[in-house]
Structure 1
Amino acid sequence: MTNPKQILPLKTENLKLPKLEKLLHIKFLDIQKLNQSLIHRSYLNENKNLKLNSNERYEFLGDAVLELWASNYLFTRFPEFDEGNLTNLRALLVCTTCLAQIAKDFGLGDYIYLSKGEINNNGRLNQSILADSFESVVGAIYLDQGWPMVDKFLSHFLISKVDSLAKQQVFKDDKSLFQEIAQAKKGITPHYVTLTESGPDHKKIFQVAVYLDSQLIAKGKGLSKQSAQEDASRKATKILTNQL
């Protein structure tokens, strides 16, 4: 029985895909996988007669593959880094801002199937759409040719980012690092609220909460407000990177 959501060739647009293959430095065995990875849900909302799936399943897979690649590469590349530094660097490497910039650099936005509304709203330059589509393409590459090609592809586009991120970001204090990750991932600047001050004047203990907008992310304690904020930021970074 035919699956009603079976992918059908988009023949007119498929004429553009060989150009994209050259930009990706990959020749797909099944060009339909690349085609599938470019179908944004807005395109289907505007073309309900098409029996197509969006690229969201590919994005789901690509996100996991990208996370594994980054973890493996950073673990090998930086044997001197502890778990915290590796986690922070990985979060910055695979964040929306970084992936969107890579996608923008090679013009991925020109190949994404978008609704007219998204196109008119500069969707081809939208960071979230670009980053999600990049992850979807990674998923397509993995399905088409497996890990060796994914490794080659991501090495080509991401390794150049690693050293600069490591030098600029990894050794920042926890508060500064969490702010950068929160801004990159969520587009929000954290704010801190002192919850309690307890103990004698010479040995006070402060409890601080860190929020993104109205959402409580983590709480921290310390012998000063600054150290409590650092503690909350360190915990918040782990929480945020595990969510995304």
Structure 2
Amino acid sequence: MGLGIDSLVRRNKEELSRFEKIIEYRFTDLRLLQRALVHSSYAFERGRAGQDNQTLEFLGDAVLDLVVGNLLYKKYPKMREGELTRLRSALVNESHLAEMARNVSLGDFLSLGKGEDASNGRNKSSILSCGYEAVIGAVFEDGGYETVRELVEKYFVPAIEEKKEDMLVADAKSRLQEVLQERYNEAPQYRVEAEEGPSHQKIFTIAADFRGDVLGLGQAGSKKEAEQRAAAAALKKLQDGSL
């Protein structure tokens, strides 16, 4: 039989303390942190099925949705519900949570089965994102909502503006159409304003037109992306009250 959680805590006390310093939170109950770092492959190999981080991952997923949602609600009180939902999804999806996990070297502290360890499991986005959610679940169990909120504000806030801009550009055309249809019952038109550069490296300038006015201009190496950028510029103009 493999080591139980209590035995793992005793064996890994120095490593757990090092991780606490990285995330700047000291656990009252180290067993919670240790469990958050035990992947199911490790527990299964050692005959400890069920003594892994999966239930803490479930809890952390729900807590992150709540805390990030509340943070965005307060930060962007005028943002539409659909935009808030998309921004929250961009912040709590697998790739971003794995990025957050890498920022605190989470992979170095995971207990993995031999097979997962040998196949670069410590750097797999799926394992890292689940581990990160489990750690958030453990922090919630140990320190409550306010403690998680402080951690989320520290680690997520710097990413919010970047994710917001990426999301706004990627989704700009559909949102611009929604806004204009809702306000004026009309859709924007897109046209090529200019093409520059050699055929294999063209730069397109696209104009988003509405009722004879240029609402926004966008430049990119493809017409599709230039249209999205033009729409994003138009949305900014609309938010500034220029129409």
Q: Shorter-normalised TM-score: what interval?
A: 0.5 to 0.7
Aligned to 1:83: 81
CA offset digits 1:147-203 (Å, max 9, x no partner): 1110111111111100111112135337899xxxxxxxxxxxxxxxxxxxxxxxxxx
Determine the C-alpha separation between the residues in 1 that align with 2:6 and 2:152: 28
CA offset digits 1:10-49 (Å, max 9, x no partner): 122233100000011001111111011111000012111x
Residues 39-78 of structure 1: matches in 2 within 5 Å?
A: 39-48=38-47, 50=48, 53-78=51-76
Aligned partner (choices 90, 111, 118) of residue 120 of structure 1? 118
CA offset digits 1:113-151 (Å, max 9, x no partner): 101111110000000000000000000000001011101
**Structure 1 residue 51, shift from structure 2 partner:** 7.2
With over 3 angstroms needed to count, the CA separation of the structure-2 counterparts of 1:174 and 1:54, relative to structure 1, is farther
Determine the C-alpha separation between the residues in 2 that align with 1:111 and 1:87: 32
Aligned to 2:97: 99
Determine the C-alpha separation between the residues in 2 that align with 1:31 and 1:56: 17
2:30 aligned partner, one-letter code: I
- Give the secondary structure class of the aligned counterpart of 2:155: helix
Determine the C-alpha separation between the residues in 2 that align with 1:110 and 1:94: 21
Q: Is the 8 A contact 1:9 1:32 kept in 2?
A: no
TM-score under structure 2 normalisation?
A: 0.67
TM-score under structure 1 normalisation?
A: 0.66
Determine the C-alpha separation between the residues in 1 that align with 2:34 and 2:18: 12
2:80 aligned partner, one-letter code: D
Determine the C-alpha separation between the residues in 1 that align with 2:174 and 2:110: 35
Q: Is the 8 A contact 1:29 1:144 kept in 2?
A: yes
Determine the C-alpha separation between the residues in 1 that align with 2:81 and 2:36: 33
Determine the C-alpha separation between the residues in 2 that align with 1:163 and 1:173: 15
Determine the C-alpha separation between the residues in 1 that align with 2:111 and 2:127: 11
Structure 1: 4+ residue segments shifted above 4 A = 174-177
CA offset digits 1:30-89 (Å, max 9, x no partner): 1111011111000012111x4761110000000000000111011111112101100111
CA offset digits 1:97-127 (Å, max 9, x no partner): 0010111121000111101111110000000
- Give the secondary structure class of the aligned counterpart of 1:8: helix
Matched, 1:33 2:32: yes
Structure 2 unmatched runs, 5+: 176-243
What is the number of equivalent residue pairs in this alignment?
172
- Percent identity over the alignment is 35
2:43 aligned partner, one-letter code: L
Q: Is the 8 A contact 2:91 2:163 kept in 1?
A: yes
Aligned to 2:207: none
Aligned to 2:107: 109
Determine the C-alpha separation between the residues in 2 that align with 1:43 and 1:21: 22
Determine the C-alpha separation between the residues in 2 that align with 1:12 and 1:51: 20
Determine the C-alpha separation between the residues in 2 that align with 1:90 and 1:30: 30
Aligned to 1:182: none
Determine the C-alpha separation between the residues in 1 that align with 2:100 and 2:63: 17
Structure 1 unmatched runs, 5+: 1-5, 178-244
1:61 aligned partner, one-letter code: L
Aligned partner (choices 152, 157, 160) of residue 159 of structure 1? 157
CA RMSD of aligned residues (A): 2.1
- Give the secondary structure class of the aligned counterpart of 1:62: helix
Determine the C-alpha separation between the residues in 2 that align with 1:56 and 1:160: 28
Q: Is the 8 A contact 2:98 2:128 kept in 1?
A: yes
With over 3 angstroms needed to count, the CA separation of the structure-2 counterparts of 1:45 and 1:84, relative to structure 1, is same
Q: Is the 8 A contact 2:5 2:34 kept in 1?
A: no
Q: Is the 8 A contact 1:7 1:52 kept in 2?
A: no
